[in-house]
Amino acid sequence: MRPEQLRLTLVVAMFLSAGLLFFNPIVPKMNTTVIFDDEALLRISDEGDQDDNYQLVLKIRHDEGGLLTNNLTRVQDLMQLEREFQDGSNPQTSWQSCELENPTDCQYNSLHIDRVLTPFSAWSDAFQTNNQSLENATRWGDVLQPLNEEGWCGSEANDAEKAAFQATLLMLPEGANVGVACPAFAGASATQAPAANEILWLVYVGSGEKGGDWNELNVWAEKVSENTEYEITAAGVNMMYGKAKAIAEKELTYVIIPSIFLLGAMLTIGLRDWQAAAATIGGVGLVICAELGALAALGFEFSVLDGIALPIIMGVAVDGAFWYSRSSRERDEVRRMLFVAMITTVAAVSLALFSPIRAQRSLGLVMAIGITLDWVMTRYVLEEFFLKRRNLRKEKVDNADTFSSISTPWAWPVALLILATITVISPPGVNVLEVEQFLPEGDPALDEMDELQSRYVLASSTIAWVIIDADGDSPDDYQNILHMQRQISQHPSVISLETGMVHSPLVIGISSESANTLNEAIDDPNSTRFLDDSLSQRLQKNGETTGFAVAVFIDGQNSEAAMQFSDDVEDLLDVNGVSGVVGGDLPTGAKAAETFEKTRLVQILSAGVAIFLVALFALRVPIQAARIAVGAVAIGAAVDGMATMFGGRGVNTALAVLLGMGFAADYLSHASADHRPTKLDMSARWWAAMSSVSVFVLLSLTTFPPAKNSGQLLSISIFFSAVLATCLAMMHRDSIADQSEE
């Protein structure tokens, strides 16, 4: 195929790939499932007998303040609101999902409501067991008589009353008068309704295959707050992920457009050729759209974090433009140099594909493909155009273009020593992977979350999952599950509801006492414990029961305790001879951080080995490949150390470190070539560096922490790489010059 035909074929293919975006628009996600792989949640998703859903929290107060729950009118208003929320009978308060057939008000097109748990519905069920109706009562006395002296926490309470007691403690703030829920509490009485000025609702939402936008629940809350006399706000950890997604999408959108203009300006000034600058910008734009279109068509699941790759791909694309248009290198030499730069950069970034962190694998893949396509665009489409636009005074560079003969052999080892010093003095430690890492420091949502967690058991806890493999018809397996539940409930990390007389650990599993097998227990219609049907569930394959998922509430603010709980339960499974899996957001995130802390240096060294091998394959010169690899490792370790100065080292910074090593390999591959250094080469190197840094600096000005940290670390890594490459080029010039004279 002739070069003209190849260029045309590549351009047409990229345009067609970009056009796929019209048929497969990208809907990025932002939740724990796209950040890390939780084996327990994956099994629940694949084998669970319920649809995937997420727990979102609503906090409700009256506009005028004051007590809410012991005002019967307000209680009945909110019970009516709960019905309208789900049945769509009132457009001003209902939720109408676009997934429903013939929706009348399609405002919420990515989520559907599975069920809602409220304290009022639990109270209503408790009263109904005594043939009393909370919905039809005219005063609290109608349902509080005859007097239940022990309340819903007493030894004679039925399952519905126990569920109402749990709902009261979980969904009313701490310090509230629980009234009939447990008269044993100080100040409580069986003659009083629970008294609180605010409550929580627990909303279970499902999403389509492309994921849901949790911020839609906040939109609904704002609508209902305007149309009723109640103030409703979306709260909780999952809603914080929704807010983080909204912040990321907004800021990354604002960064992309200025980045295009800033990069275009830097290219125009550096290249002194607006046409070459325009061609470079157009080429990288086509590369990004083609990659996104192809991945979307293949069903790739994008996270908001993948958006960080876009300005990075733009920054990487400028290399070829400067070296083809501004350096003193010949065509074949530039081709070889850029190929080595591409494969070493991709080799470093590709290590992220083996990370246990799903977000790292996803972002690493997007970057690796983008960097490769940048090279394809430069090498096969724009190369001839750049060479024609080259504006050199002579075909060969004369002595005026070379540097003086002053030797600086000390520069390279000194630069390596400085980088090693940064590595050594940097403090150890890794941030736990949790939602706080995705929100700006000082964001009001963090303060609101702290307040919520200090007042509500439900908000201060997180769910750990214990999956126990079992045959649904085996009495022995059923007894193993019951035995495991009892043992787990005794763990100190498990949150318990205390009445002074009753100790009720929040281990949500099998509550039936009359069954003989797991299948019988799950199908028992008399099992009515609060939260049971919404959390714990049977796992099945091909209609056969494979296990049971037990939900355990643990402290959501103690990552060390979460890891200890996970380790202890895994040991408990082994001791009991039972197979299973332990998971959950906090245990998995904490373990991911621990794994990263133990392996981060190994990852940096592994990236160095990968860079050495691919550089040796391309160059066939061991000393050059070794210099590239050593420099890349030095910069990677230094950037990892610098991460502690910019928000802390963590899994969010790991890919920036690998990409920094890729940049180092890129720049060092230019400097290690057997070519006498010239002013034009130095100009190409530093203009390429400044152009890339201009984009990364914009990225660092965002408030979305992963983007901000990446921008800061990549700016530093580019600067370190350019300086180190300059030192390497100056160190080798005498020997190269001597060889050429001989």
- Per-residue pLDDT at 376: 93
Burial 605-630 (b: 16+ CB within 10 A, else e): ebbbebbbebbbebbeeeebbebbbb
Mean pLDDT score, 194-208: 83
Given a contact cutoff of 8 angstroms between Cβ atoms, the answer to whether 716 and 644 are in contact is no
Mean pLDDT score, 444-465: 80
- Per-residue pLDDT at 242: 74
Binned at pLDDT 50, 70 and 90, residue 74 comes out as very high
More confident residue, 217 or 468: 468
CA-wise closest residue to 313 among 269, 261, 274, 364: 364
Mean pLDDT score, 161-169: 86
Q: Which two tokens stand for residue 245?
A: 């997604």
Least confident of 11-25, 84-98, 111-125: 84-98
E-only strand ranges, 7-83: 54-62
Residue by residue, what is the 3-state secondary structure of 319-380? HHHHHHHCCCCCHHHHHHHHHHHHHHHHHHHHHHHHCCCHHHHHHHHHHHHHHHHHHHHHHH
Least confident of 166-180, 331-345, 493-507, 560-574: 493-507
pTM, two decimal places: 0.79
List the alpha helices (DSSP H) in 426-527.
444-455, 457-460, 475-488, 518-522
Q: pLDDT tens digit string along 640-660?
A: 888 887 777 776 777 788 888
With 90 as the cut, is the pLDDT of residue 634 above it?
Answer: yes
Least confident of 369-378, 407-416, 581-590: 407-416
Binned at pLDDT 50, 70 and 90, residue 103 comes out as very low
Q: pLDDT tens digit string along 579-631?
A: 999 988 888 877 877 777 777 888 889 989 999 998 888 888 888 889 899 99
With 70 as the cut, is the pLDDT of residue 285 above it?
Answer: yes
- Per-residue pLDDT at 231: 93
- Per-residue pLDDT at 146: 86
More confident residue, 358 or 106: 358
Binned at pLDDT 50, 70 and 90, residue 673 comes out as low
Mean pLDDT score, 166-192: 88
Given a contact cutoff of 8 angstroms between Cβ atoms, the answer to whether 348 and 632 are in contact is yes
- Give the count of beta carbons closer than 10 Å to the beta carbon of residue 455: 19
With 90 as the cut, is the pLDDT of residue 677 above it?
Answer: no
With 90 as the cut, is the pLDDT of residue 676 above it?
Answer: no
Domain ranges (residues) in the chain: 51-235, 453-589
- Per-residue pLDDT at 98: 43
Average pLDDT value for the chain? 82
Binned at pLDDT 50, 70 and 90, residue 207 comes out as low
Least confident of 25-39, 60-74, 274-288: 25-39
- Per-residue pLDDT at 16: 94
Whole-number percent of the chain with pLDDT over 90: 18
Binned at pLDDT 50, 70 and 90, residue 740 comes out as very low
Mean pLDDT score, 718-722: 90
Write out the CATH class of domain 453-589: alpha beta
Binned at pLDDT 50, 70 and 90, residue 14 comes out as very high
| Burial of residue 524, with CB atoms counted within 10 A of its CB: 0-12 exposed, 13-18 middle, 19 or more buried | middle
Q: Which two tokens stand for residue 294?
A: 């192809």
Q: pLDDT tens digit string along 472-483?
A: 889 898 888 888
With 60 as the cut, is the pLDDT of residue 100 above it?
Answer: no
